[in-house]
Amino acid sequence: MGNDTTGQLAGHRAFITGGASGIGAEMARRFTREGATVVVADVNDTLGKQVAVEVGGEYVHLDVTDSQAWQKLIPTFEPFDIVCLNAGVSTHQNVIGNISNFPLEKLDNDAYERIMSINVDGVVYGARAVIPGMVARKSGHILVTASLAGIIAIAPDPIYGLTKHAMVGLVKSLGPALEPHGVCISALCPGFLDTPLVSELAREYAKSFSMGVMEISIAGDLAMRALTERIPGSQWTVMAGQPICQYIPAPPFS
């Protein structure tokens, strides 16, 4: 996995939030290799512009928590075939990097409002901004970067888990709602990838669960799998040493 390309995105336009680093930057690189043109959106202008130059795309400054910025920006850049609502943060500086004596001990209002505004509001505002154009064109695919923490427990950072479970729930419900309009939405739920959010403590935590930390190139493979399969409301996951697969929870009633 990693560098095999098929050119299957030739002629496509992609918009990626949080595109300056980590998963977003990797998707920008992979989509470009697959033939797409990319708009990188971020609040880190220096790194965002570097990624845009690297992939021959465009850069735009966007604070995903600013609903008005979304409404102003999207109409000027549309149409997009792929929109990656990827920008996200952990509760503290790093995932699993702020040791506490008990859960929520160090969760002040500022930290809580920051993660909720970026991880939840930013995705909702983004979806709200791009869906009308996609529905009008009867095409398009929205990729939401959730996490394995949106499927399983993440005891060291319950609020991060809350936001990622919220994203999985949003995608599950938007999937069938968008399907009649020709628009697909999928959630990416990887385990630990080698990004700036993953602290040394997180790496040790991953080892303790035999998960390991994956090369960032896996993010591109995961995104391409979701785009290729195009299953409305689907969740796609991968852990170190395991193949990419669709996560299908058991129904509560049989």
In a domain, 254, yes or no: no
Q: What is the mean pLDDT of each run of 10 residues along the chain (254 residues)?
A: 70 97 94 97 97 98 98 93 94 62 87 96 98 98 95 88 97 98 97 62 53 76 97 93 90 84
Residue 33 domain boundaries? 13-237
Any domain includes 91? yes
Residue tagged active-site, from 59, 90, 125, 160: 160
Say if residues 126 and 69 touch (Cβ distance below 8 Å): no
d(CA 18, CA 160) in angstroms, rounded, equals 17
221 in Cβ contact with 245 (< 8 Å): no
Residue 253 lies in a domain: no
pLDDT at 211: 58
Is 247 noted as a catalytic residue in this protein?
no
DSSP conformation class of 214: B
Q: Residue 138 maps to which CATH number?
A: 3.40.50.720
> 59, 164, 186, 205: which is the annotated catalytic residue?
164
Residue 245 placed within a domain: no
> What is the C-alpha to C-alpha distance for residues 88 and 119, in angstroms, rounded to an integer?
5
Phi-psi region of 87 (alpha: psi -120 to 50; beta: other; left: phi over 0): beta
> What's the structural domain count of the chain?
1
User: Does 167 fall in a domain?
Assistant: yes
In a domain, 247, yes or no: no
**Residues 6 or more apart whose Cβ sits within 8 Å of residue 181:** 134, 135, 138
Active site residue 164: yes
Catalytic residue among 147, 186, 205, 234: 147
